[in-house]
Structure 1
Amino acid sequence: MLLLSLQQTLLLVGTLLSTSALAAPSTPSHLDACGLLANKNVSFLSVTDVANCYQAVPFNSTRAKTTLETVHTLFKDYYVFTDAALNPRAPKPFKNEPIDVLKRLEMIGRTKYTSDFQFHMDIRATIEALKDGHASYDVLCYGAYAFVNRLALHAPVVNGTQQLRVFSDTQDNEYKGCIVEKINGRPAWPYMKNWATNVLGYSHDPNARLNIALATQVYRRDLGRFDTFDGFFATRTVPPESDAIEYQLRCEGASKPVKVFGEWIVQPTKEDIKFDSVESFVKNVCLAPEDDGSGHGPTPTPVLIPTPSPDGPHPGLDVQEFPGAEKILEGNGTVFYHLKEQPHIGVMVIHSFDIAPTEVEGKVVFEGLKALNSRNVTNLVIDFQANVGGYVELSAIVVQLLFPNKSPLDVLLEADQRVTKPLQQAALHGYKANNTEYMDASLLVDLKTGLPYKDNSIFSRPVTLTRNGRKNLYTERTALFVPTIPQSQVDVVKTFPWTNNANNIRVITDGRSGSATGMTTYFLTSEHNVEAFVVGGTAGEDMSMFSFAGASVLALSDIQQTYKGLGAIT
């Protein structure tokens, strides 16, 4: 079975790893593209320098074959949306074409490549086309540098008209606030929308992708406040098309438009790997194993967010302060504010559900709600902007603290699971085993009894279903088991003015909410009739509250470790 050889590809497939060239010799020992890159002053690196090195990496047909077989196996045997991606009709405001990811990967396998970089970019583009925030493909070789543009953009509505404007300018904010009329010679607004729609793979909603492309606020847990991220149009991990973006700007007080070249600032993303040639780049970057100490392989690099210097904020960015609100309590994923001029309103910002242990953060939510109630708050605003998900258990706790269960099944989201022979093999060994994710039937609820499964029958006795023209085996409908909150907490929260009262709760999202956050939003709006507001996108167009369904994010190494731990492979 293919999984026996997956170890060979740990160095090529997985989450984004970052590497850089430092302390290279002053005189190049090799005058190839990577040698030139390594010996250039970091302050003067260009997109072309990096792209030339990437393109110079030789194509290895043996490694490519193993990599492609591995990726094909992952999507054939483990990816839960392989059949769902064939859906030709997405409900509005989602827009997508049906994607047969297996056929596209097979087409790549029939293509004659000479460029390793192009081979991997084609796989990446195939997976990005799924528009699924849970599915990504990045390679050790090609995450060594990040690219940050001089200008970050946003799209405010001014006097009833939505305009693309400069949000920040790293060169003393010279062009901050200027209207962007053209990008690379084309009208700016349709250019930006097309770029976000065609390049980004985060959501089926093009307006959610637009929000991701533009500058946005994010909560910085390390700083204890909101900060600004320039957006993925201005911050990239793959070499852009050219060394600069050409903007045509119209600035206040100017008699005519001005052309500005937004140069890309090239930033190494790690500081401890050296190379001085294509050969050493391949050896020290492409094939360099990196472990986070857990035995689970490569460590993901966080999304690039500008880090303020000790002397002040990131150039061109305003520190986000809220003089009209008092911060009253903060956990690792949750912050509570009390509005000063509207003291009947409290704000619960949940910027991440990816917090463990979940019961500890759940206690933070409980204490925060208690604190708001003690201040005579009657109305609650829940802000999910930029929250891309995390643990289902924490999602269930939040919902239950606002709308306590009437039955244990109230916060369970029903679904079925595609069943394959490798999954059955893992499930056979995985019942009540540790760290087996969805391969352990004891973690799933038998909806007929409302209790966890007592055996492996949900996987051993699947049913055949046809979805979008493709037949496959599926489990019966089930749900991930989540515990109910303690009765002692129910007794306290049931006295709060917003508990079980949708009229006193509002939800804010920006369409990027996904996974566990999407599940929370679904329960609050669809099951409990809470009104939700979505911020951003295109004025006058509908927008989704959340972007992608709940599922687990598993790296290739996670699946390997599961099978090894269960004794399913050597």
Structure 2
Amino acid sequence: MLPSRKNLLGSLALFTLLGSARAQDPCALIAGNKTASFHDAMACLDHFKYDKEIAQQTVDTVRKVTNELYVFNDVAASPPTVEGLALSPVNISYGLDLILQEDWKSDRQFQESVALLLDKVQDAHLSYSPFCYRQFIFWQPIQLNALLRNQKLIINVAYVKDDVWPQASKDWVGCEVTEIDGSEAMDMIVNYAVNNNGESKDVNTCFNHIMNTKSYFHGWDDGADDLGYHRFLPAQEFHNYTMRCAKSGTLPIQEEYDAPFTVQVPWIAQVPPNYSTADDYWSTFCQSAHQLNRNTTKRDIHYDLHELKNIYEGEVFALDSEGRSVALNAVGSSKGPYIEFIQLEGEYKNVGVIDIQSFSIASGDRQTFVDNFISSLKDFEAKGVEKIILDLSTNGGGDACAGEFLISTLFGSTPDYPSDIKYSPFLDRVIQAAHEQEQTKWLDYKSTGFEGSNWYTNTTSYVRGKNPNVKFSQPISLSCDGWADTISTKKYTNTKWKPSDVLILSDGRCGSTCAIVASRLRVSHKVPAMGLGGIRGNRMQFASFPGGESDRLSSFLIDLEVLGLANDPDAPSPFPERADMGWTFREVYKPTEKFTGVETDLLEYSAINADCRMHFDDNNADDIKKLWADVAKVFVAGQCPLIEE
């Protein structure tokens, strides 16, 4: 039966109306697609209007955390001058004032301005992550690394992603990039590393952070400011790459090139799944469970623990760091592999590598981690391994007690480096409640001569930046009793390897717990360190952001709920949009003859340089075993001795 003219016209009108609505919804236009153009992705992300109330609530929480809890807040505003570190003053509170004065064109622009402000402090522990605007993944189809070729550090095409941009040619792999956007390639990248990467105060680490070595990556999702991979909207639509490629039948090292050419390469956006309209996008990725309570009185607030746990566990992304779809709202935990033991072959079979990929050991994996470490050391002994390369590259840290276990197993116990926590009356109430109720991580600190929470309540004052009277707790150490209670192990005593038989290998991206472990091995146990990569011609550090210990708002709010302090008038509120922030709350000092608490003794504001250096080349950049063999050659020849500062 044919439809009536009236029904047909009605259907056409509905179809037209739906089509018009879709055309006005930039998120709907690209929903269901695998990729989108820069402009189409930007249109979706900027579809959500700036909301002054949301902005004020967001800034209020960031300000409360940074003013009351961030241990480096005062020194960040007026940092010391330290040779080898790039330190720019950042007054966070003043910066937040300026942000609120702007009439932003979209919510995204406001949210990114907050993230960028904290990024400028160059403390990777200090961050703001608006997950609403971290769902697209932006790729540059040309991925770069830095290689030493004929004694010159050059920018090289490491690989191409023709899966997101078919025009990318695999023939470009191995070509030297001489210019980017009209500037010399190396100059452009160094400038970008200095001005756009907040991962470290060491420019070499920042340089390594934004480059790519395809097979040398343990999953640190570092897309925030990588040159070829962003989780946020890039600053421009295209980059122009000028390349020169080796002539057919020759190798790049022979430097016989075809004529140089320039390619305009766009940023390609991978579109997240699980939404169909802008409203869907907002409710799926942006809407916080706490936003529904934004107008309630303080005493009515209870945190949504499921929401906070999802955020804390990182289960808030639609795409993982490889661009693969992941299940939303599925709470998981960190799993291995955390560590691998590799004995080299051939000429260097007496050299073993301990590749420590992460210290973020899930509680259920601790026993396996400990057993594997000890049994593998015994296996090294049995196989005649004389030298050990301890590879800490791209290790973002994790459990400080796992790091303590590694040090004590290799070289016996090391006195804890002094550390302390910035004082605030609010945190005093939190720590007192923790001791009264015997709950949360605040029980894990101890100080000689003080019982309960008195280590925090009895304050001492130090100069920080321009503030002559910043209150801190007593010097404390972290108790690993709780960690030790979860494992059982036979005592292992290392009688095989001296500190000079071990070499730290690090690209500088050894942060947090990793940085403290590396620093203690180098400074207290005299283990030499080799820097990997970086900018040729200047010394580099082998560790980054060693602040001491960090927390995240999602975790902190869970603690407050557990302790019954969610309604404390000074407690930071959850963000009105789905977001999280991190900050350093415990500062750690390098060892000195006499503890004074001065800021220049802080590990975060100290430069501890590597003793020697290794760069990637055409042979080892994508073959980690070849790289380790090159490191072993230098190590065995005694060409990386410890340099006493």
Class of the TM-score when normalised by the shorter of the 2 chains = 0.7 to 0.9
Deviations 1:405-426 (A, max 9, x none): 2xxxx24221111011210111
Instruction: Name which one, 1 or 2, has greater alpha-carbon Rg.
Output: 2
Distance 1:354 1:227, change over 3 A: closer
Q: Which amino acid aligns with 2:475?
A: R
User: What corresponds to 2:188 in structure 1?
Assistant: 191
> Bigger CA drift: 548-557 or 174-183?
548-557
Deviations 1:518-558 (A, max 9, x none): 11101110000000001010112111111112444433232
Are 1:518 and 2:515 an aligned pair? Answer: yes
Q: Which amino acid aligns with 2:543?
A: F
Map residues 410-429 of structure 1 onto 2, 5 A cutoff. Answer: 410-429=414-433
Map residues 37-56 of structure 1 onto 2, 5 A cutoff. Answer: 37-38=29-30, 42-43=33-34, 45-56=36-47
User: What corresponds to 1:234 in structure 2?
Assistant: 228
Distance 1:529 1:28, change over 3 A: farther
User: What corresponds to 1:273 in structure 2?
Assistant: 275
User: What corresponds to 2:242 in structure 1?
Assistant: 248
Distance, in Å, in 2 between the alignment partners of 1:255 and 1:217 is: 26
Distance, in Å, in 1 between the alignment partners of 2:261 and 2:214 is: 28
Does the 8 A contact of 1:216 with 1:229 survive in 2? no
User: What corresponds to 2:581 in structure 1?
Assistant: none
Distance, in Å, in 2 between the alignment partners of 1:26 and 1:247 is: 42
Distance, in Å, in 2 between the alignment partners of 1:443 and 1:114 is: 46
SS at match of 1:216: coil
Distance 1:350 1:433, change over 3 A: farther
Uncovered stretches (5+) of structure 1, i.e. residues with no partner: 1-24, 310-329
Deviations 1:376-412 (A, max 9, x none): 112111000100100000000000011112xxxx242
Distance, in Å, in 2 between the alignment partners of 1:100 and 1:227 is: 28
Deviations 1:96-130 (A, max 9, x none): 11222122112222333343222111111101001
User: What corresponds to 2:404 in structure 1?
Assistant: 396
Uncovered stretches (5+) of structure 2, i.e. residues with no partner: 1-16, 163-168, 248-256, 291-303, 326-334, 568-645
SS at match of 2:172: coil
User: What corresponds to 1:94 in structure 2?
Assistant: 85
Deviations 1:36-95 (A, max 9, x none): 5435x6245111111122223111111111111011111111222212323433433221
Task: Among all aligned residue pairs of Structure 1 and Structure 2, give the percentage whose two residues are the same amino acid.
Answer: 21
User: What corresponds to 1:478 in structure 2?
Assistant: 476
Distance 1:227 1:218, change over 3 A: farther
SS at match of 1:494: coil
Deviations 1:258-307 (A, max 9, x none): 111223221124x22331x4x55434432154989585242426895437
Distance 1:553 1:467, change over 3 A: closer
Map residues 474-513 of structure 1 onto 2, 5 A cutoff. Answer: 474-483=472-481, 492-495=492-495, 497-498=496-497, 501-513=498-510
Distance, in Å, in 1 between the alignment partners of 2:476 and 2:562 is: 25
Distance, in Å, in 2 between the alignment partners of 1:230 and 1:76 is: 25
Distance, in Å, in 2 between the alignment partners of 1:228 and 1:217 is: 13
> Bigger CA drift: 369-378 or 108-117?
108-117
**TM-score (normalised: structure 1):** 0.81
User: What corresponds to 1:344 in structure 2?
Assistant: 350
Q: Which amino acid aligns with 2:471?
A: L
Map residues 88-127 of structure 1 onto 2, 5 A cutoff. Answer: 88-127=79-118
Deviations 1:438-469 (A, max 9, x none): xx2x4212135xxxx53211222212332111
SS at match of 1:542: coil
User: What corresponds to 1:387 in structure 2?
Assistant: 395
1:219 shift after superposition? 6.5
SS at match of 1:29: helix
Distance, in Å, in 1 between the alignment partners of 2:154 and 2:439 is: 49
Does the 8 A contact of 1:220 with 1:227 survive in 2? no
User: What corresponds to 2:612 in structure 1?
Assistant: none
Which of 533, 549, 552 is the aligned partner of 2:546?
549
Distance 1:135 1:230, change over 3 A: closer
Q: Which amino acid aligns with 1:53?
A: C
Distance 1:230 1:340, change over 3 A: farther
Deviations 1:183-209 (A, max 9, x none): 112211111111122111111111101
Deviations 1:477-507 (A, max 9, x none): 1111235989x97864333x20xx1111111
**TM-score (normalised: structure 2):** 0.72
Q: Which amino acid aligns with 2:205?
A: A
Distance, in Å, in 2 between the alignment partners of 1:43 and 1:516 is: 38
Are 1:163 and 2:163 an aligned pair? Answer: no
Does the 8 A contact of 1:182 with 1:249 survive in 2? yes
Aligned residues between the structures: 505
